[in-house]
A and B are shown apart, each in its own frame.
Chain A
Amino acid sequence: MPELEYFVVCRHLSTDIETDELTFGGVLEDIFPIELPMYLERAVAISCWRLTKDELESDFQTILRVTPPGANDSVDFAMNLSRGRTRHHAIQSVFNIPMEEPGTIIFEALLNGRHEASHHVEVHSALQPDESGRAEP
């Protein structure tokens, strides 16, 4: 089975035009919302998979599973790894993830339905504005 090298969720991602290097920006760990409920506008999940030469012609499916705080069920975003390469970067951008209450957004990476890794993002309580309009936790 392909081996997961890393799995990370961040806000932005860019690719160098000269070298094709990936740059991750704003790795998501804690979110301090001004108010709740609100949306996480964008999250980019990157999972890097390494295959052996025997697996080059096999079919593999990765799934990004997102479970927002307070949600009863999760949502899956599937992607197939194309054949013929020993390394794959599955880069999935998910927009407008609802955050209805404080808690944890769980991002999971699955391979052919099997759990491989997870990335947890803590959603903290909403910041309350004081009399001067400044937000305090």
Chain B
Amino acid sequence: MSVSLLSELLTDEFADAIGFVLPPAAMRIVFRRSVAVRKLTQAIRHSVVTEAEIRDFVASIVKSFKFGEGLTGDLALAAIAVAIERLPVDFVDEYLDALASLRLREMSTCIRIARECIKHRANLPKKEFRQQSYLRTRPGTLQQPKQLKIHLLFVGTKPKTLRSRSARLLKTVGSSFDKPDSLRLPTRPQSIRGYI
């Protein structure tokens, strides 16, 4: 399915659906309204079409490039630019920047469309994610929680056994820290479960 979605961009039916060559701003809108482009966008969002497949497809088009002759897949490259324009991945920036930086008459449509897409993409929010642990920034002061391990230790044990085990545990855990005094370990077993 993924291959057919991409190869559909090379068909005469797709070219007919797009129609005449228009100024880039108008042509981008025509691409956006195209059923094939919208299907491709959905497929990429749901990982039906992958980045690797797009790279391979683009590479196969570019292989046929010849100076002085219009590129056969010019419209297809432009369609991909519009299809991926809003996706929040770095590959899109790479693709659009690479196309927009070219100065080739043979593939003028996709280059102008890519420049138009970059203008619109600049207005989209860039989402950057980071995940960090507070404790890693403070080595030696506190240890990572081991909640599950300690919790299992106390499941199904009698109160008397629990007290002796918790005393032993406190002793063991306390001695394994660099600064046991600063931890102020709780004395109740259920507290240990929540803290360690």
Chain A residues engaging chain B, CB cutoff 8 angstroms: 15, 17-18, 20, 22, 33-35, 37-39, 48, 56, 66, 68, 75, 77, 79, 81-82, 84-98, 100, 129
Contact = CB atoms under 8 A, between A and B. Distances in A.
Interface residues of B, number: 32
B134 A79 contact: no
B98 to A, nearest CB: 14
Interface in B136-193: 137-138, 142, 144-145, 184, 186, 188, 190-191
Contact of B86 (A20, A39, A88): A20
A38 to B, nearest CB: 5
B134 A89 contact: no
Q: Classify the interface of chain A: helix, strand, loop or mixed.
A: strand
Interface of B: 42, 45-46, 86, 88, 93, 122-135, 137-138, 142, 144-145, 184, 186, 188, 190-191, 194-195
Nearest to B135: A96
Contacts, number: 92
B122 A77 contact: no
A94 B122 contact: no
Given A95-B134, A96-B144, A37 B126 contact: no
B194 A93 contact: no
A89 B127 contact: yes
B134 to A, nearest CB: 5
Q: Classify the interface of chain B: helix, strand, loop or mixed.
A: mixed
B126 A85 contact: yes
Given A17-B45, A38-B195, A97-B134, A87 B124 contact: yes
Nearest to A45: B130
A129 B186 CA distance: 15
The interface centre, meaning the residue of B88, B123, B129, B138 with most chain A CB atoms within 10 A of its CB, is B129
A95 B133 contact: yes
Contacts of B127: 15, 20, 22, 88-89, 91
Contacts of A38: 194-195
